[in-house]
Amino acid sequence: MSNSMKQDPVVTREGDYQHVESRAVMSRRERIITLAIRLTVISIALIFALFPVLFIISSAFNPSGTLSTQTFLPARVESADELLTNFRALMVEELDIYPFWNWIANSFIVASVTTILVVLITALAAYAFSRFRFRGRRQLLLGILLIQVFPNLLAMVALFLILLEIGRLSDTIPMAFPFLDFIDWGWINLFGLDSLGGLILVYMGGAMGINTWLMKGFFDSIPKDIDESALVDGASHWQIFWVLIFPLVRPILAVVGVLAFVGTFNEFVLARIILRDKDTWTLMVGMYNFINSDFNRDWGKFAAGALVSGTPVVILYLALQDQIVGGLTQGAVKG
C-alpha cells in the first residue's frame, strides 16, 4: 500500500514530462512550418515587386533597344560600351529629336518651385488652424478635406479653360482698359496654357489640401506653452512661427516636401493636357512620346530614361529618410 502510494507521483511526473516534451516538439515543428510559410510569402512578394525594376534595368542596358528582342540578360554584347547604347542615344545623339535634358530641367523647375511654395503656404495655413481660433475654422478644415476627396482629374476641363483664359488676358486687358496700354502684359503668359507657371499653379492647388491636415496634426503636438512664453516676452506671432515653431516641425516639412516633389515630378496626366510644346514638356510627358510613337522600337530608350528619372527620387528618399520616418511617426503618435 505504501509502495503504490510512493510510485504514483513518479508515474504522474513521468507522464507530465513526456507530455511537455511532445508539446515542445510540436511547437518547434509549428515554428518551422510558420517560418517556411512566411519566407515563401516574402519571397513571392519580393519577386513580384522587383521583377518590373529588374526588367526595366535589363531593357535599359539591352543594346537592341526593342521589346520584341528583349531578354532578361542582354545577349550578343561584345563590349561594355554596347551596354550604354540606349543611354548614349537618349542623352547625346538624338537631342535634336528628343530634348531629354530640357525635359529634366523642366521637371526639376516645376517640382522644386511647387515643393517650396507648397511647404511654405501649407505650413502657414497649418499654423493658423492649429494655433488660432476664429470663426469658420472647423468649416474651413472640413471644406479642405471634402475638396481633397475629389481628384484633380475631375476638374481637368475647367483647369484647361482657366489657363486658356489666363493666357488671353495679355490681349484683353489693354483692350478693356486702354489707359493701361503702356504696361507690357506679356508676363501673364507665363501662367497660361502651355507654360510651366500654369502647371505649377495647378499643382499647388491640388497638393495643399491633405498636406494641411497632415501638418496641422504635427503642429498640435507642439506644446502651446512655447507660444505663450514667447508672447509674454514680447514676441509676435510671426517671430514665434519662424524662430521657435518652424525649426521644431522640420520632420513634417521634410515629409510634405518629399511627397510634393515626388508627386509633381512623376505626374503625367495634367502635364500632358496643359503642356503642348515639345520644349515645355516635363520628363514624364517626354518619356510618354517614346512609347506613343513606336512602342517596340523605342522601348530601350524609354527604359533608360525611366532609370535615369528614378535616380533623383531614390537619392532624395535616402537623404531624407530619417526626417521622413520621424515626421510620420511623431505626427501619428502625438497628433
CATH code at position 189: 1.10.3720.10
Q: Are residues 18 and 153 in the same domain?
A: no
Tell whether the model's pLDDT for residue 154 goes beyond 70.
yes
Q: How many domains does the chain have?
A: 2
Range of the domain at 37: 1-53
In a domain, 74, yes or no: no
Decide: 305 and 100 in contact? Cβ < 8 Å: yes
Nearest one of 121, 137, 288, 319 to 203, comparing CA atoms = 121
Q: Are residues 163 and 232 in the same domain?
A: yes
In a domain, 18, yes or no: yes
Tell whether the model's pLDDT for residue 138 goes beyond 90.
no
Q: Are residues 182 and 320 in the same domain?
A: yes
Q: Are residues 116 and 29 in the same domain?
A: no
In a domain, 76, yes or no: no
The answer for residues whose C-beta is within 8 angstroms of residue 216's C-beta and 6 or more apart is 126, 129, 130, 141
Q: Using CA atoms, how far apart are residues 131 and 173, in angstroms rounded to an integer? A: 41
Q: Are residues 48 and 124 in the same domain?
A: no
Q: What is the mean pLDDT of the chain?
A: 80
In a domain, 65, yes or no: no
Tell whether the model's pLDDT for residue 330 goes beyond 70.
no
Decide: 81 and 332 in contact? Cβ < 8 Å: no
Tell whether the model's pLDDT for residue 49 goes beyond 80.
yes
In a domain, 90, yes or no: no
Considering Cα of 310, then 316, then 322, then 326, what sign does the dihedral take? negative
Q: Using CA atoms, how far apart are residues 121 and 117, in angstroms rounded to an integer? A: 6
Tell whether the model's pLDDT for residue 193 goes beyond 90.
no
Q: Are residues 112 and 257 in the same domain?
A: yes
In a domain, 69, yes or no: no
Q: Are residues 43 and 181 in the same domain?
A: no
In a domain, 259, yes or no: yes
Q: Are residues 48 and 103 in the same domain?
A: no
How much is the pLDDT for 70?
Answer: 65
Tell whether the model's pLDDT for residue 112 goes beyond 50.
yes
Q: Are residues 170 and 259 in the same domain?
A: yes
Tell whether the model's pLDDT for residue 244 goes beyond 60.
yes
User: Average pLDDT in the 248-261 region?
Assistant: 86
How much is the pLDDT for 10?
Answer: 44
How much is the pLDDT for 2?
Answer: 46
In a domain, 92, yes or no: no
